[in-house]
Amino acid sequence: MSLIRQSVVDMKGYTPGEQPQGDARVIKLNTNENPYPPSLHVDEAMRTIDSSILRKYPDPLSIKLRTAIADLHDCTIDNVFVGNGADELLALCTRAFVENDGSVGYFEPSYSLYPVLCDIRGVAKMPIELDDNLSSPMPTNADCSLFFVTNPNAPTSVLDSRSNVERFCSNFKGVVVLDEAYVDFSDHNCMDIALKSKNVLVARTLSKSYSMAGLRLGYAVGDAMLIEALNKIKDSYNLNAITQKLALAAILDQDHMLANVERIKTTRTRFVGELKELGFMVVPSQTNFIWAKPSRISAKEIYDELYKRRILIRYFPGKNTGDFVRITIGTDEEMDELLSVLRKLCI
């Protein structure tokens, strides 16, 4: 008898971007982290943490944090769930909204965690390929229990229209999770669609625009019945006391977050222009990264050559992704150093 479930033996786990250990010389543009520090309010909150709080369990319902998020999105605390990164709430959605004989839909290419979550649950996957122009062909007859829509999408950086998203949500019979991890860098969001729908959740994260990937804080907003289901099945104390305190400080400083977002968008615009001059085809980006196809050297060669020079970007082998590279927008200095290397590679 095997000690491990056969489905776990057979599955391929999620592969995160490389995280160098203690090497400051690396230019890290591979995991869509924010290159700028979090709010100074977060620093202040860290300095006020007394280690004695670790003696007791944290607030199991994260009341203060959820209240701040509810105020931010003009809803009630009953419309807000908080989790250990957005990944936790995505996993909980596959447990709460999909029967054992159900299935989960998502687009391809998109967030590569989705099929892994399906395999963990042992439920059927229903991937739908993006159109040739990388837009999401919203299905009119998707017969599945749960559908993940990453908007803007990763790794393509494309933002789908509100009208397409709203039409799909209103026609879909199951639960739709609008994964808006990158939405602060885009032109619009779909939060209001979730708050007026019975079957829609918006998932957000503090990892990108708030510069807090190391904290692991994600949240979902939507109908109170869906939120209650997630609360029923979460770990008893899924957010530690320090995470709750620091996340609250970040959420309450919207000015800092928005200023960092604008700084990154300005760098993004300049960098895209420079890449086009080097012969890259660049997909119009609505995220803090770009999805680009080189013309004078293969995407794999660019990835390999940059890696030799300790500049990390992402390359995804495959039919729909193998011609492209994904590059996180870093500081102006980091992007200039990257461009200096690319000019030598692409002559």
Q: What is the pLDDT of residues 98-107, one digit of tens each?
A: 999 999 999 9
> How confident is residue 2, by pLDDT bands cut at 50, 70 and 90?
confident
How far is 293 from 276, CA to CA, in rounded Å? 10
Strands 146-150 and 175-179: parallel
DSSP state of 136: -
All domains of the chain, ordered by start, with CATH? 17-37+255-345 (3.90.1150.10), 40-252 (3.40.640.10)
pLDDT at 5: 85
pLDDT in tens, 9-34: 888 888 888 888 876 689 999 999 99
- Hey, which bits of 80-158 come out as E strands? 80-83, 103-108, 124-129, 146-150
pLDDT in tens, 141-191: 788 999 999 999 999 999 999 999 999 999 999 999 999 999 999 999 999
* Angle at alpha carbon of residue 187, lines to 196 and 126, rounded to 5°: 60
Alpha-carbon Rg for the chain in angstroms: 20
Token code pair at residue 176: 């739709």
Token code pair at residue 98: 């999909």
How far is 211 from 285, CA to CA, in rounded Å? 19
What mean pLDDT is predicted for residues 321-347?
96
pLDDT at 25: 85
How far is 102 from 296, CA to CA, in rounded Å? 45
Token code pair at residue 125: 């996957």
Instruction: Count the Cβ atoms, other than its own, within 10 Å of residue 136.
Output: 24
pLDDT at 343 over 90: yes
What mean pLDDT is predicted for residues 179-206?
98
How far is 67 from 214, CA to CA, in rounded Å? 22
The residue behind tokens 């607030």 is: 59
Exposed / middle / buried, residue 121 (Cβ in 10 Å: 0-12, 13-18, 19+): middle
pLDDT at 24: 66
How far is 290 from 268, CA to CA, in rounded Å? 8
Q: What is the mean pLDDT of the chain?
A: 95
How far is 300 from 305, CA to CA, in rounded Å? 9
How far is 213 from 173, CA to CA, in rounded Å? 33
Instruction: Count the Cβ atoms, other than its own, within 10 Å of residue 205.
Output: 25
pLDDT at 1 over 90: no
What mean pLDDT is predicted for residues 299-315?
96
